[in-house]
């Protein structure tokens, strides 16, 4: 699990079939000290996170496949929106 900050939404006219109808966000991962870590990642979101929100993520692809109910090459998904950490 890792914390990250939502930078925005992702849209595409051409995508893997398993991504159809799913809400995809661009999230910047954070190091333990809160600084950005690596490149932003594409994340599946079914919790309604918004730009600027801090989110709890997992890169467990098996968990994502279970959540979606189908095979997918996707890897990252939002597990939660930690209390008191969002800038709404």
Domain contains 88: no
Domain contains 87: no
As for how many domains the chain has, the answer is 1
Domain contains 86: no
Domain contains 58: yes
Domain contains 41: yes
pLDDT per residue rounded down to tens, the chain (88 residues):
899 999 999 988 888 888 888 899 999 999 999 899 999 999 999 999 999 999 999 999 888 898 888 898 888 999 999 876 555 4
C-alpha to C-alpha distance for 78 and 72, rounded to whole angstroms: 15
C-alpha to C-alpha distance for 69 and 49, rounded to whole angstroms: 21
Cα dist from 56 to 11, 43, 49, whole Å: 22, 11, 10
Residue 57 belongs to what domain range?
Answer: 2-80
Q: What is the structure's pLDDT at 18?
A: 87
Domain contains 47: yes
**pTM, rounded to two decimals:** 0.86
Domain contains 46: yes
Q: What is the structure's pLDDT at 8?
A: 97
> CATH number of the domain that 76 lies in?
2.40.50.220
Q: What is the structure's pLDDT at 88?
A: 47
Domain contains 85: no
């Amino acid at each position: 699990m890792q914390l990250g900050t939502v930078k925005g939404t992702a849209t595409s006219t051409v995508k893997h079939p398993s991504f159809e109808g799913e809400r995809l966000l661009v999230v910047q991962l954070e190091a333990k000290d809160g600084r950005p870590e690596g490149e932003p990642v594409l994340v599946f979101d079914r919790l309604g996170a918004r730009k600027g929100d801090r989110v709890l993520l997992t890169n467990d692809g098996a968990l994502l496949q279970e959540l979606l109910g189908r095979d997918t090459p996707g890897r990252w998904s939002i597990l939660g929106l930690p209390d008191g950490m969002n800038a709404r």
